[in-house]
Amino acid sequence: MLRLSSLPQFKSLLVHGPYHPSAPIHLSLSVPPPHLTLLFSPSRDALLQALQGHPDEWLNTHSGTGTFASMSSRVTVFYPPSPKHLVAVLSLLRVHDVSVPVAPKVTLDRPPTLLVLLEPSAYFFPEKEEHTVSSYLLLITHVLSTAEYLSSRSFDSSPASVVVFDTRLDQLKLPVLRTPPSSAFDERDDPEDVPRPESVLFFAAKYFELSGTFQLRGQADSDLQTSVLALHRTGQGEIQSIRL
């Protein structure tokens, strides 16, 4: 299981490539009381389907217990269906202040310790002309700045950490610049003038202190394969492998 205590201290972590759908759930639940976790997913149905398609024995065994209910009560999940909705939710989040009217859905009892964003690349498949690399990076910067803002609302809370899980980020390619609009009087575009799609991962990884990928290690035809999270510090090689 992926637990916060098993990771080195960090402010931001990007997990890209395949991972077990329950990994973000375990990570969110592992935040010790009384601290809070905020989890953002583009689709409730997609998240549930992924969990149902890859059953987790621990979740199946403990999901009906009082301990699990106590742990899950400290995790708040949002399902913003578009990039604009995600930015709006992040902008509205506030820590409770007696001098400000309470908006129940976006007012927190205390600053969160962990913010988890799931599958932001889902907002950009299939690729559309209006999407650029900056469209993805804008979501990342909003999450990071929200974590910093919420942490600043309390002097007795440690800074919030941000984790992004994105299975399809390795495949996501978007242009750096938007294709300029054409008119009937324009000459036919030269193929070399059309913005070339670039790997979004290359740019996104620079915004994170750590990046990681899940790997299966051991013989492929053996039952002794183990899942390992290989962590890299930005600009450096592998710094730690965590067996799960």
What is residue 116's predicted lDDT score, i.e. its pLDDT? Answer: 99
Query: Residue 174 burial (CB < 10 Å; 0-12/13-18/19+)?
Result: buried
The residue range of the domain holding 126 is 4-243
What is residue 191's predicted lDDT score, i.e. its pLDDT? Answer: 56
pLDDT in tens, the chain (244 residues): 889 899 999 999 999 999 999 999 999 999 999 899 999 999 999 999 999 998 888 898 887 788 788 889 999 999 999 999 999 999 999 998 766 667 778 889 899 999 999 999 999 998 766 899 999 999 999 999 999 999 988 766 678 999 999 999 999 999 998 765 555 555 655 556 567 899 999 999 999 999 999 887 765 555 556 788 999 998 787 788 887 6
Cα–Cα distance measured from residue 225 to residue 220, given in angstroms and rounded to the nearest whole number: 7
Pair 178, 30: CB distance under 8 Å: no
Cα–Cα distance measured from residue 87 to residue 93, given in angstroms and rounded to the nearest whole number: 10
Pair 206, 193: CB distance under 8 Å: no
Angle at 37 between CA 126 and CA 144, to 5 degrees: 60
What is residue 45's predicted lDDT score, i.e. its pLDDT? Answer: 97
How long is the chain? 244
Domain count, the chain: 1
Angle at 127 between CA 200 and CA 194, to 5 degrees: 80
Cα–Cα distance measured from residue 147 to residue 161, given in angstroms and rounded to the nearest whole number: 7
CA distances from 29 to 11, 121, 165, 200 (A): 18, 24, 15, 29
Q: What is the CATH number of the domain that holds 59?
A: 3.40.50
Pair 6, 163: CB distance under 8 Å: no
pTM of this structure? 0.89
Q: Which residues lie closer than 8 Å to 174 by C-beta, 6 or more apart?
A: 124, 127, 131, 132, 133, 135, 136, 197, 198, 200
